[in-house]
Copies of this chain bind each other. A is one copy, B any other.
Amino acid sequence: MAVTIKEVARVAGVSTATVTRALSSPEVVRPATRERVREVAASLGYHPNRAARGLITGRTGNLGLLVPDLANPFFPSIVKGVQGRAHEADHAVFLADTDEDPAAEAGLVRKLAKQVDGMVLCSPRMAEAELRELAAEVPTVLVYRRIPGVPSVTAEFLDGMRQAVSHLVALSHKKIAYVAGPRSSWANRERVRSLRAVTRKSEVELTEFGNVAPQFHGGVSVADSVLASNVTAVIAYNDLVALGLLHRFAARGVSVPGDISVLGFDDIPLAEMVHPALTTVALPKEEAGQAGVDLLLDRKPAVRRELPTQLMVRGSTGPAR
């Protein structure tokens, strides 16, 4: 049986009320009493039961975190960010993985809703209307998704895309491809929009492929189509797709960046481990998770934070052939 506040009170020779105060409002109890209580609590290994506390305060000290697929290396970093910052703020984190199933999202959120002070929804795939409903039921912060009226943390996609295209233009690429990710992905829509906006002002001719799954095999499956076109560079929805392209190109004996340049998005750890290393637009991941928690705990309504992006130039991009 776990040690309760009663036990601490008994041993310390005070009332339970004093124990509570010694622990959560130290300034209102006489120093001597406070220290005695704290010592007893420590020696007994007392930790308040947060469920019981939540019952009366209305605050659980818990956060909920929803991700589409933990197997996608983009998300663990965000989870680490959320988790780390939450623990700093003395909150525990419920994790739910939806396996890329938009239909499962709302149910999972509602199930957790009553046990948490707020939810961090990471790249949710569900429809905007449903998302808004949910946000009305439980304090919500969106990470890598933006809808009006709901606090969110995203990155400067437009600027990232500008860096990417400038880089390719500087290498004399004139015809470039974009391999699109899931249609339901807000990030994909943003990337397409940014890319079109950036290329419209330049001499670059854009060809679009997809949509593919945001995974390695998505890139593999579209690689041959990309090769069959006459582009000299390809920007992938994300790094996993880019790695799939690299893989298939290598298997076909196509040289990267000799024959074609490849550029990804995200900067997952893997990007640096492959040969050639992947040029990619780095998105803030841990930082985004931390910022999400900050927004949630500060309760500033409808704040939008947009974090900077950074092109990481590596071996997979080179001069146009």
A positions within 8 Å CB-CB of B: 2, 45, 47, 49-52, 54-55, 60, 62, 65, 70-71, 73, 75-77, 79-80, 83-84, 87, 92-97, 99, 108, 110-115, 137, 216, 243-244, 247, 250, 269-270, 272-275
Contact = CB atoms under 8 A, between A and B. Distances in A.
A83 B112 CA distance: 13
Contact of A270 (B62, B65, B273): B273
Contacts of A76: 70-71, 73, 75-76
Q: Is the interface of A mostly helix, strand, loop or mixed?
A: helix
Contacts of A80: 70-71, 97, 99
A84 B97 contact: yes
B115 A95 contact: no
B97 A83 contact: yes
B92 A111 contact: yes
Contacts of A54: 51
A115 B2 CA distance: 11
Given A65-B95, A71-B80, A92-B112, 14 more contacts: A47-B110, A47-B113, A51-B60, A55-B55, A71-B77, A71-B269, A73-B76, A75-B76, A79-B95, A84-B99, A87-B96, A87-B108, A93-B95, A93-B96
27 contacts: A2-B113, A45-B110, A47-B111, A47-B113, A47-B114, A49-B114, A49-B115, A50-B114, A51-B54, A51-B55, A62-B94, A65-B95, A70-B76, A70-B83, A73-B73, A76-B76, A80-B97, A83-B97, A87-B96, A93-B95, A216-B269, A243-B273, A250-B275, A270-B270, A270-B273, A273-B274, A274-B275
Contacts of A272: 216
A159 B113 CA distance: 45
Nearest to A45: B110
Contacts of A71: 76-77, 80, 269
A8 to B, nearest CB: 14
Nearest to A220: B273
Contacts of A273: 216, 243-244, 247, 270, 274
Closest 9 CB pairs of A and B: A51-B51, A95-B95, A70-B76, A49-B114, A83-B97, A92-B94, A76-B76, A243-B273, A250-B275
A80 B71 CA distance: 8
